[in-house]
Amino acid sequence: MFEIYGERFASRLLLGTAQYPSPATLKEAVEASSAEIVTVSLRRESARMRAGQGFWELIEELGVSVLPNTAGCHTAKEAVATAEMARELFDTPWIKLEVIANDDTLQPDLFGLVEAATILVADGFKVLPYTTEDLSAAEKLASAGCTVLMPWASPIGSARGLINRDGLKTLRAYFPDKTLIIDAGIGAVASGRGDGARL
């Protein structure tokens, strides 16, 4: 079983909801994957377009757990405000915390990440921080109260797979009881799953 803050799931797969050709394809993908958790985001809503309202109805229809993220945030302050908005919108204390250092690599800003995680945990959030394999950052996130870590495999969208396998193994050795979710750059799902299983 796979556990996130005391909740258990039969599937270890978390499915993103972006870049599907249509809502119907997204729905079919979620159902076919048996994923029990999907990641979602927030965007500015246009009074004319109302794009978010239809998406929300689709998510409710799917009946899966949602993991909102703070994508696009570059400071701890922005990430905290976004997390608070996400908690109200999605009615969940879970937040995939992203604080991005720069727009080229989408590398996590580990300093801002720890700052935001500390604030959010104190406010009752269940934080899933998008981090690197850096052990010192992981220790600080753990001290802040994160029981789940989301280290990257490689930069988002690069599909390079696990570029620092030793670093991820070290994280696992230091945190044998924490849920580690390898989050970015995995590439093909099959290879990512296989690599993850060997850590």
Q: Which residues are catalytic?
A: 96
Closest CA to 18 of 48, 37, 39, 36: 39
Candidate segments 45-53, 141-149, 163-171, 191-199, binder of another protein by CB under 8 A: 45-53
The strand pairing partners of 9, in sequence order, are 2
Closest CA to 170 of 136, 142, 141, 143: 136
31: contact with another protein by CB under 8 A:
no
Minimal distance in Å, beta carbon 138 to another protein? 22
174: contact with another protein by CB under 8 A:
no
Torsional class of 4: left (φ above 0), alpha (ψ -120 to 50), beta (otherwise): beta
Residue 74, both tokens: 């570059």
Minimal distance in Å, beta carbon 166 to another protein? 26
d(CA 146, CA 101): 20
The strand pairing partners of 7, in sequence order, are 4
Q: Report how many residues bind another protein under the rule CB under 8 A.
A: 36
Which residue of 4, 30, 59, 182 would you call a contact of another protein, by CB under 8 A? 59
Tell the burial category of 75 from Cβ atoms under 10 Å away from its Cβ (0-12, 13-18, 19+). Answer: middle
Which residue of 1, 10, 22, 44 would you call a contact of another protein, by CB under 8 A? 44
155: contact with another protein by CB under 8 A:
no
136: contact with another protein by CB under 8 A:
no
From the centroid of its chain, how far is CA 152?
10
139: contact with another protein by CB under 8 A:
no
Which residue of 24, 85, 122, 188 would you call a contact of another protein, by CB under 8 A? 85
Residue 24, SS3 per DSSP: helix
89: contact with another protein by CB under 8 A:
yes
55: contact with another protein by CB under 8 A:
yes
The strand pairing partners of 94, in sequence order, are 126
Residue 138, both tokens: 């992981």
131: contact with another protein by CB under 8 A:
no
106: contact with another protein by CB under 8 A:
no
Task: Tell me which residues touch another protein (CB under 8 A).
Answer: 16-20, 26, 39-47, 50-53, 55-56, 59, 68-69, 71, 77-78, 80-82, 84-86, 88-90
